[in-house]
Every structure is written in structure tokens, then in C-alpha cells.
Amino acid sequence: MIEREGWRVERARRVTERLQAALPEHERFETLVIHADQANAFTGPGRTIFITHRLLDQLPDEAAAAFVIAHELAHHHLGHVPGRFARTWPMFAPPPVSHERERHADLHAIELCMGAGYAPERCLIALQILDALFLACGDLEASLGAPHDPEGDIARRGYFPSRDRIAHVEAHVAAYRSGARIVNLLATERAAVDRRRMTNAVAAIGSIAATAVLLLFRRR
């Protein structure tokens, strides 16, 4: 069921408009408040962000709500969702894995929030609440990570541990204030991936060539 009136609807509307104030109308998204048993927010193809009433009830102010909504907007802006901003990846270049996409969305979300005038410390309360929820239900690895298998645990969950997510955003706040932007970070990361791919390709070609030469000499 979609809520049509009340403080939750008004808060979601105000936050969504404020986050997108600098965008033209045709690039803007709307946020709908839905009734659900879980505290959650999500999006998909189209121009709609969904946030549950239970999640809004747990967020103390507009800044915390802004980070949640901005995170979903970021998935669109960064091309993670089919639609207007979707990106095509170069041939043989896999898109970023899920936990990297989520990290990128967090970083772009805090940029959107700060650009809209929200205090980043208040925005981070959204992730701090998530961390508290993990601890309250006894999921220590979701909060702190899995010391015995950190990379595997992150890959299975599709997210970095909540403490790491908070640290990533805090570091990006400082970088953003010094002029860093997610688009530049992504360009740097893609360039590094391209260099590794080229190095591996050259090494593979060299290995094939060496094998071919060896076989040629054996035949002689």
C-alpha cells in the first residue's frame, strides 16, 4: 500500500525535491512511501524510489532520510539501473561487482546530500542506525566483517560491512571538501582496471608466442 498523505510523505517529497533541485525536470525521480514489514529502500527501472514507512520511522531527521534516498538516486545516476543513465560496458569488461556498486552509490549519495546543503554528520546517522540494527540482531559480521573470510563475506552479501561503509563515506566527505568527486574516482578506478587487463593480455600473448616458438623449434 502506498501512503498518499502524512508526515512521511511530506518528508520524502521535500528531501527528494531538495536533492534534485539542480536537475532539469526530465531527469528527476519521485519517491513513494510504501507500507512493508521491513525497514528498506529500493529502486528499479523507471523514475521511482521506494522507501518503507518502517524505515522512515527509524530515521531521526531529513538529513538521514536524504542519505537513504540519495543512495537510490545514485544507483540511477551511476548507471547501475536500466534507464536514462544506464551505461554500456566495453567488450570483455565486466561491470563493477555488487559491493563496489554499493560503495560507489554511498559516495555519490553523500555528494548529493552535501550539494543540497545537508550536514554529512547527520546523513551518516542512516548508516549508524543500520549498524546498530545489525548488532541488535547479533549479526556481528554484517557490522564488523568476517575476519576469517573478509572478501568472501563481502561478495556473498553484496555490501561492505556497515563499519566499513561508514568509514568509506567519512573519508569521501573529507575528499569532497578538497575537490574530489565520484566521477573522477570512477574514471581512475576504470583506468586501473584497463591497465591490469592490458598487462594480463600482453602477458598472455607473450606466453602464447613463446609456446608457439618453442613448438616451432621442436618440429625442426
Instruction: Say if CB 112 and CB 19 are below 8 A apart.
Output: yes
Q: Quick one: cell of 39?
A: 525497514
Own/partner pairs, 132-137, CB within 8 angstroms, 24+ separation: 133/39, 134/162
Distance from C-alpha of 36 to C-alpha of 161, rounded to nearest angstrom: 24
Domain boundaries, the chain: 7-179, 181-220
Per-residue pLDDT tens digits for 71-85? 999 999 999 998 777
Per-residue pLDDT tens digits for 130-159? 999 999 999 999 999 999 999 999 999 999
Place of cell 529502500: 41
Q: Is 204's pLDDT higher than 90?
A: no
pLDDT, position 113: 98
DSSP 136-194: HTT-HHHHH--TTSHHHHHHHHTS--HHHHHHHHHHHHHHHHTT--HHHHHHHHHHHHH
C-alpha torsion 110→73→43→118, nearest 10: 50
Q: Quick one: cell of 48?
A: 521511482
pLDDT, position 93: 57
pLDDT, position 196: 57
Q: Are strands 30-34 and 48-52 parallel, antiparallel or unpaired?
A: parallel
Instruction: Tell me the percentage of the chain whose pLDDT exceeds 70.
Output: 81
pLDDT, position 96: 81
Q: Quick one: cell of 142?
A: 554484517
Distance from C-alpha of 169 to C-alpha of 95, rounded to nearest angstrom: 22
pTM of the model: 0.83
- Quote the mean pLDDT of the chain: 88
Distances (CA, A) of 147 to 103, 142, 157, 165, 183: 20, 11, 15, 16, 31
Longest CA–CA span in the chain (Å) reads 86
